[in-house]
Amino acid sequence: MSATDGTGPLLEVEGVSVRFGALLALSRVSLAVGHGEILAIIGPNGAGKTTLLNVISGFYHPYEGRIRFAGRDRTHLKPYDVAGLGIARTFQNVALFKGMTVLDNIMTGRIIKARGNLLLEALYWGPAMSQELRHRAFVERIIDFLEIEAIRKTPAGRLPYGLQKRVELGRALAAEPELLLLDEPMAGMNVEEKEDMCRFILDVNDEFDTTIVLVEHDMSVVMDISDRVVVLDYGRKITEGPPSEVRTDQTVIDAYLGVPHAS
Amino acid sequence: MDVLATVRDGLDTFPKLVRHDAQRFPRKVAIREKEYGIWQSYTWSDYLAQVRRIALGLASLGLARGNKTAIIGDNRPQLYWAVAATQALGGVPVPLYQDAIEKELAYIVDHAEARFAVVEDQEQVDKLLHIKEQCPHLEFIIYEDPRGLRAYTEPFLVSLERLQELGATFARDNPTYFEDEVAKGTADDIAIICYTSGTTGTPKGAMLSHRNLILTAGNAIAAEGFRRDEEVLAYLPMAWVGDHFFSYAQSIVAGFSVNCPESAATVLPDLREIGPTCFFAPPRIWENLLTNVMIRIEDAAWPKRKLVQFFLDLAQDSERRRLGRQPVALWRRLLYPLGRLLVYGPLRDNLGMRRIRIAYTAGEAIGPEIFVFFRSLGINVKQLYGMTEASALISIHKDGDVRLDTVGTPLPGVEIRISQEGEVLYRSPGVFHGYYKNSEATQQVIREGWIHSGDAGFLDRDGHLKIIDRAKDVSRLADGTIFAPKYLENKLKFSPYVREAVCTGQARPYVAALINIDLAAVGNWAERRGIAYTSYTDLSQKPEVYDLIHEEVVRVNRSLQADDVLRGAQIRKFLILHKELDPDDEEITRTRKVRRGYIAQKYAALIDALYSDHGHVPIEAKVTYEDGRTGTVRADLRIREAAR
């Protein structure tokens, strides 16, 4: 779906700043994400991590800087168009349709792929039927992949939190994204659920060749699964590099331990 | 079907029978698997083609006659094919429990000298990679599901897909190899080695030949009338002889269809979708089904609950009378059809048991209340007595001759005798060829041509076999009163709130019980009463929960009053355990039989406290997590005296 030759980075964020009134949430942040990479964005509370995800997925627009995806500038696209380009995301607070089944929730992720014709769909006939079957088959692959067969028909709102997170991941995967944005995929999970989620993230990356950008607080998770780590603090990128280097970086330690900032 | 004639006519191994089935009914469904939400079907000709491709792949990797293949995973068509493929080359499949921890796997894979392992997924591959050093014979690991394994570079890891490609290449150079190897097989080749979990000591590998299994399957078909249009659900561990017998041997001999559920968590909905005609379950599964039903009845609105309870009581009273050869009152017989319309029919349908012609319970004694419950719904549940060493079957209830307290009459071809000491002895065409590399154990079990079952029992006037308990478990209290622990435990376990129970009393002044609550049922009960709890341990020690269990103990004691022999062995004291008994902690076997010796040792402090004047006892226990790590749990357990 992309027009890249596969050599350049998949996503480039160049000098992006975001302002909420007087608050500078992001200040000239630049980063690049390569094809098939798992990049973690870390930083203390309020560092601008979620804002950065929101800019990439088109919820916010930067007042300066550019965002290039698959070689094309798309700084000012709307979320729906961003999704159409092959970027999917999950949210920090689970955002599922509580009354709908797991299956239907994941099916909504396919909307982006659907070619609609209201009449044919209402009649469930002809191309509408074969399209529905194709989508369903793909969704079933995801259900199998995430090992949620047993809750296929359960309303999402009745599931425990860890499973809801997994269903949300499934919905994002249903859009067959090239780039997957995960906002705190492990938040509020117990150790076992975290281990499961880690395995799913690695498997998604491995199996579907999906590039992943994730925001996460749990440092052990970040160190385990990411190829590269970007550290934000007060809206600035303070460092980036492989987990082993970032772990020992003095500026990172200072940021987390709260050394006074001379700004 | 005359099976003896079949064996004479050269259809004397399972691969030959698979080929025969593919000729007899090529388009009939042999096996289904629910995958991607849909039941995917494979016919007998598909079955043969898959077995052929896998066999040729294994041959290309060098599987020679007599080599062992470890088979590890949930019930999957591919794994059943791997069993047949190994047999086709004259190799011996060794199925293992898929939830076994590394230590157990290492012991069996090493002891069986398995050169190949065909496994389901990454989980099993990881376990085998960890133990490979301890298993010098293990050369190739073949996996079915490639997910998560892409980054693994070990040269001895082969995907099933790749194996089949290798097989196709191999077949080009050796076009008649498969047929030649199948033709070399004989009835007395070892068809499978089933490692018995064993309530004592290390696992032993029982060797069963093709003749053992084919003749036993044929005798069962003759006695029970299995047809080629049966549908069965393959959901019990492949390593258990019961599954091997029903989902593999019996299916191939009779030609019926086997259905593999989507995952372990979807067995109940899948059961409902398939609506099997034959169903085989150990008592534990029947207990779970009953518990589920009871919870849902309790959750129903008052008029519904009363209606259901009325009709269930009616049906159970009638069934108990029928089993006891007593007349059933006319008004009961008249009301039964109404009950079928309102309660029994819908309930059977809900359980996925509407089409069941024959259902079995085996593996352990079943609580009579559970047995009566399912029979009263019109489900033809029968007891079956068997052992790995007998190719699964020894005795069975014939249709129309079902008793509450027996395990039926001997299967055709089986002779049963009771030894002087009261132990059940038998011999049959299914009797195994001994334990692999353990002639000492073999000699202990087979003496003068008879197998010593280790069970205490007797034959009644009508030739029905009655099993009392494991021979070594039946014992006496200090004052000489007879005490059969399993009998009491089964009575306790009929309560939906009791998941597991262990009774002690040998050479003690009275009987005491360690009880495991059922988290789902007691949790639900507590929620409805607004009792807050944080964990299993916390819930188990609530005074309200003790009151609840106390009632159940009193109920058991009351029912013992009616029994002349066992009246003296009532439960005097009990405590509720802080954790579930778990096969990972070696407290119960993988088939969920209580390992008494181990528990007596591990919980010696608790048991001593039950025979002291203390009202509570502190405990610190080691637990093993699923990944093999260990941790400790601390708790202070109450001891309760049962009202008499």
| Shared-domain flag, residues B111 and B155 | yes
B305 found inside a domain:
yes
**Is residue B282 within 8 Å of residue B362, measured between CB atoms?**
yes
Interchain proximity B266–A149, CB inside 8 Å: yes
Interchain proximity A149–B151, CB inside 8 Å: no
B447 found inside a domain:
yes
B200 pLDDT more than 70:
no
- Quote the pLDDT of residue B8: 66
Reported ipTM exceeds the 0.85 cut = no
What would the mean pLDDT of A25-41 be, rounded to a whole number?
Answer: 92
- Quote the pLDDT of residue B424: 92
Nearest Cα to B64, choosing from B92, B89, B85?
B89
- Quote the pLDDT of residue B562: 67
Measure the CA–CA gap between B205 and B438, rounded to whole angstroms.
8
B366 found inside a domain:
no
| Shared-domain flag, residues B482 and B609 | yes
| Shared-domain flag, residues B82 and B137 | yes
Q: Select the residue of A149, A152, A206 nearest B150 (Cβ to Cβ).
A: A206
| Shared-domain flag, residues B81 and B58 | yes
| Shared-domain flag, residues B60 and B164 | yes
| Shared-domain flag, residues B526 and B612 | yes
Query: What confidence category does residue B466 fall into, taking pLDDT thresholds of 50, 70 and 90?
Result: confident
Over the stretch B54-69, which tens digit does the pLDDT of each residue have?
A: 999 999 999 999 999 9
Query: What confidence category does residue B470 fall into, taking pLDDT thresholds of 50, 70 and 90?
Result: confident
Q: Is A203 on the interface with B (CB under 8 A)?
A: yes
| Beta-bridge partners for A14 | A66
**Is residue B190 within 8 Å of residue B207, measured between CB atoms?**
yes
| Shared-domain flag, residues B458 and B483 | no
Interchain proximity B148–A136, CB inside 8 Å: no
Which amino acid, residue A238? Answer: I
Pairing status of strand A211-215 against strand A38-42: parallel
Q: Which residues of chain A does B266 touch, with a Cβ-Cβ cutoff of 8 Å? A: 149-150
- Quote the pLDDT of residue B2: 63
CA angle B342-B345-B351, nearest 5°?
125
When comparing pLDDT for B234 and A20, which is higher? B234
Nearest Cα to B61, choosing from B134, B118, B4, B119?
B118
Measure the CA–CA gap between B155 and B104, rounded to whole angstroms.
25
CATH number at residue B487: 3.30.300.30
Domain boundary among B436, B471, B506: B471
Q: Is B262 on the interface with A (CB under 8 A)?
A: yes
Domain borders along chain A are 1-86+177-263, 95-176
- Quote the pLDDT of residue A1: 38
- Quote the pLDDT of residue A211: 95
Domain boundary among B279, B312, B334: B279
Interchain proximity A144–B266, CB inside 8 Å: no
B376 found inside a domain:
no
Highest-confidence range of A184-198, B44-58, B409-423, by mean pLDDT?
B44-58
CATH number at residue B194: 3.40.50.12780
Q: Buried b vs exposed e over A187-205: b needs ≥16 C-beta within 10 Å?
A: bebeeebbebbbebbbbbb
3-state secondary structure of B606: helix
For B626, name the nearest residue in chain A, comparing CA atoms only: A192
B373 found inside a domain:
no
Domain boundary among B352, B379, B396: B352
Does the reported pTM lie above 0.95? Answer: no
CATH architecture of A1-86+177-263: 3-Layer(aba) Sandwich (3.40)
Over the stretch B241-270, which tens digit does the pLDDT of each residue have?
A: 999 999 999 999 999 999 999 998 899 889
Query: What confidence category does residue B198 fall into, taking pLDDT thresholds of 50, 70 and 90?
Result: low
When comparing pLDDT for B469 and B179, which is higher? B179
Q: Which domain holds residue B40?
A: 3-279
CA distances from B55 to B58, B63, B554 (A): 5, 9, 59
Measure the CA–CA gap between A47 and A28, rounded to whole angstroms.
13
The residue of A104, A106, A149, A163 whose CB has the most chain B CBs within 10 angstroms, and thus the best one to mutate to test that interface, is: A149
For A103, name the nearest residue in chain B, comparing CA atoms only: B37
Q: Is A143 on the interface with B (CB under 8 A)?
A: yes
Average pLDDT taken over every residue of chain B: 90
| Shared-domain flag, residues B467 and B503 | no
Over the stretch B139-171, which tens digit does the pLDDT of each residue have?
A: 999 999 998 888 899 999 999 999 999 999 999
- Quote the pLDDT of residue B3: 64
| Shared-domain flag, residues B116 and B95 | yes
| Shared-domain flag, residues B207 and B251 | yes
What would the mean pLDDT of B332-346 be, rounded to a whole number?
Answer: 92
HSE-up (13 A, CA, CB side) for residue A181: 22
Looking at the 3D structure of chain B, how many domains does it have? 4
CATH number at residue B393: 2.30.38.10
State the angle between helix axes of B485-493 and B543-561 in degrees (0 to 180), rounded to the nearest 10. Answer: 120
E-strand spans in B367-497?
381-385, 395-396, 409-410, 415-418, 423-427, 446-447, 450-459, 465-470, 475-476, 482-483
Q: Which residues of chain B does A191 touch, with a Cβ-Cβ cutoff of 8 Å? A: none
Question: How many percent of chain A have pLDDT more than 90?
Answer: 37
Query: What confidence category does residue B220 fall into, taking pLDDT thresholds of 50, 70 and 90?
Result: very high
| Shared-domain flag, residues B501 and B403 | no
Q: Which residues of chain B does A144 touch, with a Cβ-Cβ cutoff of 8 Å? A: 35-36
Q: What are the tokens at A14?
A: 């160049």
Query: What confidence category does residue A261 fall into, taking pLDDT thresholds of 50, 70 and 90?
Result: low
Nearest Cα to A148, choosing from A130, A173, A131, A129?
A173
B201 found inside a domain:
yes
Pairing status of strand B395-396 against strand B381-385: antiparallel
| Shared-domain flag, residues B545 and B570 | yes
Query: What confidence category does residue A263 fall into, taking pLDDT thresholds of 50, 70 and 90?
Result: very low
For B627, name the nearest residue in chain A, comparing CA atoms only: A192
Q: Which residues of chain A does B151 touch, with a Cβ-Cβ cutoff of 8 Å? A: 206
Q: Is B631 on the interface with A (CB under 8 A)?
A: no
B403 pLDDT more than 90:
no
B452 found inside a domain:
yes
Highest-confidence range of B150-154, B215-219, B365-369, by mean pLDDT?
B215-219
Over the stretch B88-144, which tens digit does the pLDDT of each residue have?
A: 999 999 999 999 889 889 999 999 999 999 999 999 999 999 999 999 999 999 999
B601 found inside a domain:
yes
B20-24, B75-79, B405-409: lowest mean pLDDT where? B405-409
